């Protein structure tokens, strides 16, 4: 089942137990104007962007939901990942989301799905991207075997990952 961006945000905001995000791409740039501005050396209004994310993920965190993000990254990192690392503290950590980074070379023997995903309570939302990192589709899956597989994949990356405070992109 295809899921609109707004429906994903609604699911995130309604999270009761956990929202787990696995990211495995080296760019999500697509047409991101904030990243493009950063590449040109121009500042962007991170406070406004952070506030939008905090409004979505803040309520479940305040209810006690476990909100974590694990990122599998190639090293040396791409410019996009360097930018993303730079905004993680204000966008995610500041609101209570926990983030870990795993160098891709340490993920070679992990069973991982072919796509990034959110695992929200007992539903998986697979995120499909074009080659340049633009979202092309969001696919909802709730089959127990898919949920179990994605949960195991996330936890395997999380276990090996380096906490954001300790990770230094190379």
Q: Are strands 123-129 and 135-141 parallel, antiparallel or unpaired?
A: antiparallel
Q: Is the peptide bond before 76 cis (omega within 30 degrees of 0)?
A: yes
Q: How confident is the model at residue 38 (pLDDT cuts 50, 70, 90)?
A: confident
Tell me, which fold does domain 5-108+121-163 have in CATH?
Endonuclease; Chain A (3.30.870)
User: Contacts by 143-150 with C-beta closer than 8 Å and gap 24+?
Assistant: 147/119, 147/122, 147/123, 149/111, 149/113, 150/22, 150/113, 150/117, 150/119, 150/124
Strand 18-23 and strand 162-163: the pairing is unpaired
- Give ∠ CA 74-23-146 in degrees, rounded to 5: 130
Tell me the pTM.
Answer: 0.95
Q: How many Cβ atoms are within 10 Å of 115's Cβ, its own excluded?
A: 17
Measured CA distances, 127 to 43, 85, 149 (Å): 28, 20, 16
Arithmetic mean of pLDDT, 32-46: 84
Distance of alpha carbon 2 from alpha carbon 118, whole angstroms: 14
Encode pLDDT of 60-79 as tens digits: 999 999 999 999 999 999 99
Answer yes or no: are the C-beta atoms of 144 and 138 closer than 8 Å.
Answer: no
Contact 100/85 with Cβ under 8 angstroms? no
Could you report the per-residue pLDDT of 119-159, keeping only the tens digit for each?
A: 999 999 999 999 888 899 999 999 999 999 999 999 999 99
In the predicted structure, residue 30 carries a pLDDT above the cut 90? no
Q: Which helix (H) or strand (E) holds 19?
A: strand 18-23
| Torsion region of 99: left, alpha or beta (phi above 0 gives left; psi -120 to 50 gives alpha) | beta
The pLDDT, as a whole number, for residue 92 is 96
């Amino acid at each position: 089942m295809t899921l609109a961006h707004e429906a994903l945000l609604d699911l995130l905001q309604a999270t009761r137990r956990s929202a787990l995000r696995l990211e495995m791409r080296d760019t999500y740039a697509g047409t991101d104007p904030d990243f493009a501005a950063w590449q040109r050396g121009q500042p962007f209004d991170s406070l406004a962007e952070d506030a939008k994310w905090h409004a979505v993920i803040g309520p479940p965190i305040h209810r006690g939901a476990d909100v974590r993000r694990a990122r599998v990254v190639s090293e040396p990192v791409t410019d996009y990942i360097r930018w993303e690392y730079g905004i993680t503290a204000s966008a995610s950590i500041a609101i209570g989301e926990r983030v870990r980074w795993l160098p891709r070379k340490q993920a070679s023997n992990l069973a991982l799905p072919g796509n990034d995903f959110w695992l929200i309570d007992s539903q998986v939302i697979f995120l499909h991207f074009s080659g340049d990192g633009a979202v092309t589709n969001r696919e909802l899956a709730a089959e127990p075997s898919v949920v179990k597989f994605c949960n195991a994949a996330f936890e395997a990356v999380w276990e090996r990952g380096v906490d954001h405070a300790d990770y230094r992109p190379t």
